[in-house]
């Protein structure tokens, strides 16, 4: 990786609509190691009502620091600062670094450097993450193979039922949550079979066989939730009101309360950091 010198200036004043600005640089690769450090020089002019600093984030929700508790204020000369985060290469999807200004004033950034366990990343080989079953599934990379769908009443009903169940399985089935299945491609596999069903019983039998083919799982209990802690509850009442077969409905309810891994392959949560325009200058040069 070519060594890059990054020089950036961020300025905020009373006339600016936003109360903070930031810029980011996504590191092209992931690296093996225990600690990753972002260092850089910062100079500030009249920073008030907030702070200036570096920031670094490891997604998904592995590590984040924006120097909020030790941010730079006032007018300061060029000084080196650094941020260090614990790494988890196997679960890392991206590493993002940058600088920010909260409040008012002007801040300059220069000579950024990223090291892993004390070694410059330009001297390191990218980490090769183990590829899971979902990522290895390439069967439909060139297309679904489905050329036409007859939009009669039976087919529309079958499509609606499959859409509900496929979306539910994608986010609730424990083995799917582990990343054992490429659910987009599972849809392409099961769709022709569902469309060929001429009766609801046949369709439900096909869906039960498909779901059972996703593997066994450990059943759980319905969680006790405090309504005051919930902003929006997922609507899965359709499981009971869609007139599915008893076997299919019972299987879906078991999946609803199943024990799932804490890290879901298809769900990530990222801290929000908006990159705003207005009067911000960014120069990147070798």
pTM of the predicted model as reported, rounded to 2 decimal places: 0.60
Q: Residue 225: its pLDDT value, please?
A: 72
Residue 273 clears pLDDT 60, i.e. is over it: no
Residue 124 shares a structural domain with residue 227: no
Residue 280 clears pLDDT 50, i.e. is over it: no
Query: Would you place residue 64 in the very low, low, confident or very high pLDDT band (cuts 50, 70, 90)?
Result: very high
In whole angstroms, give the CA distance from residue 177 to residue 235.
19
State residue 26 phi and psi, 5-degree precision. Answer: -85, 120
Region of poorest pLDDT, from 51-55, 139-143, 260-264:
260-264
Q: How many residues does the chain have?
A: 286
Q: Which two tokens stand for residue 135?
A: 């990522």
Q: Residue 221: its pLDDT value, please?
A: 82
Query: Would you place residue 44 in the very low, low, confident or very high pLDDT band (cuts 50, 70, 90)?
Result: very high
In whole angstroms, give the CA distance from residue 120 to residue 129.
20
Task: State the DSSP code for 32.
Answer: -
Asked whether residue 277 is domain-assigned, the answer is no
Residue 117 shares a structural domain with residue 149: no
Residue 281 clears pLDDT 60, i.e. is over it: no
In whole angstroms, give the CA distance from residue 42 to residue 100.
11
Residue 103 shares a structural domain with residue 211: no
Asked whether residue 53 is domain-assigned, the answer is yes
Asked whether residue 269 is domain-assigned, the answer is no
Residue 78 shares a structural domain with residue 148: no
Residue pair 40/110 in contact (Cβ under 8 Å)? The answer is yes
Query: Would you place residue 3 in the very low, low, confident or very high pLDDT band (cuts 50, 70, 90)?
Result: very low
Q: Residue 270: its pLDDT value, please?
A: 55
Domain CATH for 112:
2.60.120.1310
* Tally of structural domains, the chain: 2
Region of poorest pLDDT, from 8-17, 21-30, 172-181, 183-192:
8-17
Region of poorest pLDDT, from 16-20, 93-97, 177-181:
16-20
The closest of 217, 133, 213, 135 to 175, measured between CA atoms, is: 217
Residue 274 clears pLDDT 60, i.e. is over it: no
Asked whether residue 285 is domain-assigned, the answer is no
Residue 285 clears pLDDT 70, i.e. is over it: no
Please count the other Cβ atoms lying within 10 Å of the Cβ belonging to residue 31. Answer: 20
Residue 9 shares a structural domain with residue 126: yes
Residue 88 shares a structural domain with residue 162: no
Which pLDDT tens digit goes with each residue over 193-224? 999 999 999 999 999 999 999 999 998 887 77
Residue 161 shares a structural domain with residue 64: no
Residue 85 shares a structural domain with residue 14: yes
Residue 12 clears pLDDT 50, i.e. is over it: yes
Which structural domain, as residue segments, surrounds residue 244? 134-256
Asked whether residue 282 is domain-assigned, the answer is no
Domain end call among 130, 150, 183: 130
Peptide bond preceding 20 in cis form (omega within 30 of 0): no
Residue 11 shares a structural domain with residue 126: yes
Task: State the DSSP code for 152.
Answer: S
Residue pair 227/244 in contact (Cβ under 8 Å)? The answer is no
Q: What percent of the chain has pLDDT over 90?
A: 70
Asked whether residue 71 is domain-assigned, the answer is yes
Report the DSSP beta bridge partners of residue 107. 10, 44
Residue 106 shares a structural domain with residue 141: no
Domain end call among 109, 130, 151: 130
Residue 119 shares a structural domain with residue 85: yes
Asked whether residue 197 is domain-assigned, the answer is yes
Asked whether residue 225 is domain-assigned, the answer is yes
Average pLDDT of span 136-153: 90
Residue 15 shares a structural domain with residue 101: yes
Residue 66 clears pLDDT 60, i.e. is over it: yes
Residue pair 37/114 in contact (Cβ under 8 Å)? The answer is yes
Query: Would you place residue 36 in the very low, low, confident or very high pLDDT band (cuts 50, 70, 90)?
Result: very high
Query: Would you place residue 189 in the very low, low, confident or very high pLDDT band (cuts 50, 70, 90)?
Result: very high
In whole angstroms, give the CA distance from residue 115 to residue 110.
16
């Amino acid at each position: 990786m070519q060594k890059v010198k990054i020089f950036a200036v961020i300025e905020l004043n009373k006339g600016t609509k936003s109360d903070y600005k930031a810029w980011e640089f996504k590191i092209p690769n992931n690296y093996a190691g225990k600690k990753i450090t972002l260092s850089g020089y910062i100079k500030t002019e009249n920073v008030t009502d907030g702070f200036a600093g570096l920031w670094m984030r490891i997604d998904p929700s592995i590590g984040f620091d924006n120097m909020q508790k030790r941010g730079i204020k006032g007018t300061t000369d060029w000084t080196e600062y650094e941020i260090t985060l614990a790494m988890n290469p196997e679960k890392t999807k991206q590493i993002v670094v940058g600088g920010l200004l909260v409040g008012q004033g002007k801040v300059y950034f220069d000579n950024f450097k990223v090291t892993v366990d004390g070694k410059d990343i330009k001297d390191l080989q990218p980490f090769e993450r183990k590829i899971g079953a979902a990522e290895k599934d390439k069967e439909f990379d060139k297309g679904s193979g489905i050329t036409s769908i007859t939009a009669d009443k039976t087919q529309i009903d079958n499509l609606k039922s499959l859409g509900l169940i496929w979306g539910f399985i994608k986010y609730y089935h424990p083995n799917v949550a582990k990343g054992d299945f490429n659910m987009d491609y599972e849809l392409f596999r099961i769709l022709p079979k569902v469309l060929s069903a001429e009766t609801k019983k046949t369709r439900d039998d096909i869906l039960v066989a498909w779901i059972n083919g996703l593997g066994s799982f450990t059943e759980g209990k319905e969680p006790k939730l405090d309504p005051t802690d919930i902003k929006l509850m997922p609507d899965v009442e359709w499981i009971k009101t869609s007139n599915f077969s008893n076997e299919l409905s019972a299987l879906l309810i078991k999946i609803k309360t199943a024990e799932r891994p804490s890290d879901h392959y298809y769900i990530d949560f990222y801290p929000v950091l908006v990159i705003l325009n207005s009067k911000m200058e960014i120069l990147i040069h070798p």
